[in-house]
């Protein structure tokens, strides 16, 4: 099989419900690569078990994450969609790369520090080596480009460092990947506390808008969004609440901040919040409908997973045999 297109790889964890931050910051962008790149989009269940999961929920969310990929516009005939644990080479290369990743490097990862302070009773080794498994995901496919949210930038840089290190020792083995981090919608903030990131694990139900929220929920959450007392729709660093709403509005309408300021000139926050809620709910409606349709047909989802895993395994095998040879494993 000839492969002349460049490779895109990304992954989403099947844990928690995905937010509009995940949607705008990452998943919505995935489909733009389908024509010009060979694309692999993975449901990373191996990563999910670094925090304790309820088995039935993990299983359900794995289907849901795949369905969500498809509902967000990823056509399974144009993209390789698969589940990480279905391709054992991820775990295999993960182990190998663990041996080329330094304790000090992993200790500096902010996500590790963050997650271990939140899960003090379960700081397991997997949580610590999470980034080398992520590097394995990426390097296994000789990936050129990795679309991710800004929060994954540090992990991506580590993946590059690991690839460079391995190549220096053994000669050219891995493509050194670049990140694709959208800067315009890179960070959607909490609606209740607009100085911190919108997080799917937020305890406050009004802080987070989920991709699958009903229209009523979306409208209600935006209505309650924290703003400020100036009552002017204007983008500014000292107006984090309003600026965040403007970012959401811009993402769903394509309008610039200046256009938005003009549109709401002389109007109050009430009108503005309602408008943001409307465009968001309307933008999400087709995703929600398609998701429901896909979830009603498990057999089809299983067929997509199976075909995706077969395709991914073919590429993974090629890299693994190169890696084994270079390291000195007996064939
Ligand atoms: N760590 C990523 C996240 O939490 C998910 C992920 C795992 C990933 N492996 C990946 C993203 C490889 C991009 C490429 O969002």
pLDDT of residue 269: 97
Mean pLDDT of the region 245-265? 96
Residue 127 CB less than 6 A away from ligand 1: no
The confidence band for 186, taking pLDDT boundaries of 50, 70 and 90, is low
Q: Contact 18/12 with Cβ under 8 angstroms?
A: yes
Atom index in ligand 1 nearest the CA of residue 12 equals 5
Q: Is the pLDDT of residue 199 over 90?
A: no
Active site residues: 115, 197, 200
Residue among 196, 281, 198 at smallest CA distance from 18 = 198
Distance (Å, rounded) from C-alpha 10 to C-alpha 252? 23
Q: Which residue's CA is the closest to the ligand 1 atom numbered 13?
A: 10
Residues with Cβ within 8 Å of 158's Cβ and at least 6 positions away in sequence, in order, are: 101, 105, 109, 131, 132, 135
Atom index in ligand 1 nearest the CA of residue 155 equals 1
Distance (Å, rounded) from C-alpha 301 to C-alpha 286? 19
Residue with tokens 């002017």: 232
Query: To test ligand 1's pocket by mutation, which of 9, 11, 45 has the most ligand atoms within 8 angstroms of CB?
Result: 11
Domain ranges of the chain: 2-185+298-327, 205-292
Distance (Å, rounded) from C-alpha 248 to C-alpha 241? 11
Q: For CA atoms 245, 246, 249, 250, give the dihedral sign.
A: negative
Distance (Å, rounded) from C-alpha 42 to C-alpha 12? 7
Residue 15 CB less than 6 A away from ligand 1: no
Distance (Å) from CA 155 to ligand 1 centroid: 8
Q: Is the pLDDT of residue 309 over 60?
A: yes
Residue 315 CB less than 6 A away from ligand 1: no
Q: Which residue's CA is the closest to the ligand 1 atom numbered 15?
A: 12
Distance (Å, rounded) from C-alpha 75 to C-alpha 52? 31
DSSP 277-318: HHHHHHHHHHHHHHHHHHHT-HHHHHHHHHHHHHHHHHHHHH
Residue 55 backbone class (left: φ over 0; alpha: ψ -120 to 50; beta: rest) = alpha
DSSP annotation of 26: I
pLDDT of residue 205: 87
Distance (Å) from CA 189 to ligand 1 centroid: 20
Residue 137 CB less than 6 A away from ligand 1: yes
Distance (Å) from CA 149 to ligand 1 centroid: 9
pLDDT of residue 88: 98
Distance (Å, rounded) from C-alpha 72 to C-alpha 288? 9
Residue 148 CB less than 6 A away from ligand 1: yes
The CATH number of 2-185+298-327, from 3.40.50.620, 3.30.1600.10, 3.30.70.20, 3.40.50.300, is: 3.40.50.620
Q: Which residue's CA is the closest to the ligand 1 atom numbered 9?
A: 134
- Per CATH, 2-185+298-327 and 205-292 having the same topology is answered no
* Three-class secondary structure of residue 189 per DSSP: strand
Distance (Å, rounded) from C-alpha 305 to C-alpha 310? 9
Residue 83 CB less than 6 A away from ligand 1: no
CATH number corresponding to 205-292: 1.10.240.10
Condensed to tens digits (0 to 9), the pLDDT of residues 130-167 reads 999 999 999 999 999 999 888 899 999 999 999 999 99
Condensed to tens digits (0 to 9), the pLDDT of residues 36-93 reads 999 999 999 999 999 999 999 999 999 999 999 999 999 999 999 999 999 999 999 9
Residue among 11, 51, 76, 21 at smallest CA distance from 305 = 76
pLDDT of residue 26: 79
Q: Which residue's CA is the closest to the ligand 1 atom numbered 8?
A: 11
pTM of the complete model beyond 0.75 = yes
């Amino acid at each position: 099989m000839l492969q002349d297109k460049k490779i895109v790889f990304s992954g989403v964890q099947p844990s928690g419900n995905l937010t509009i931050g995940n949607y705008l910051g990452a998943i919505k962008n995935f489909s733009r690569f389908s024509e010009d790149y060979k694309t692999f989009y993975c449901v990373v269940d191996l990563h999910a078990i670094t925090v304790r999961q309820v088995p039935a929920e993990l299983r359900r969310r794995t289907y849901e994450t795949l369905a969500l990929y498809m509902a967000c516009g990823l056509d399974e005939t144009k993209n390789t969609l698969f589940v990480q644990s279905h391709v054992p080479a991820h775990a295999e290369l993960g182990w190998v790369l663990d041996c080329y990743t330094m304790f000090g490097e992993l200790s500096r990862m902010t996500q590790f520090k963050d997650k271990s302070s939140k899960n003090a009773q379960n700081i397991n080794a997997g949580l610590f080596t999470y980034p080398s498994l992520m590097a394995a995901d990426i390097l296994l496919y000789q990936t050129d480009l990795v679309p991710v949210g800004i929060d994954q930038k540090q992990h991506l840089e580590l993946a590059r460092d690991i690839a460079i290190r391995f190549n220096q020792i053994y000669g050219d083995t891995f493509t050194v990947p670049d990140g694709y981090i959208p800067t315009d919608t890179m960070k959607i903030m909490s609606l209740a506390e607009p100085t911190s990131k919108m997080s799917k694990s937020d305890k406050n139900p009004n802080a987070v808008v989920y991709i699958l929220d009903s229209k009523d929920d979306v409208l209600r959450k935006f209505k309650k969004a924290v703003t400020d007392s100036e009552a002017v729709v204007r983008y500014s660093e000292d107006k984090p609440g309003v600026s965040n709403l403007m970012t959401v509005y811009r993402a769903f309408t394509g309008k610039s901040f200046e256009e938005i300021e003009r549109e709401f000139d002389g109007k109050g926050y009430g009108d503005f919040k309602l408008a943001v809620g409307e465009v968001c709910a309307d933008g999400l409606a087709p995703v929600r409908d398609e998701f429901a349709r896909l979830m009603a047909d498990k057999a089809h989802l299983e067929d997509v997973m199976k075909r995706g895993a077969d395709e991914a395994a073919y590429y993974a095998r090629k890299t693994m045999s190169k890696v084994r040879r270079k390291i000195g494993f007996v064939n």
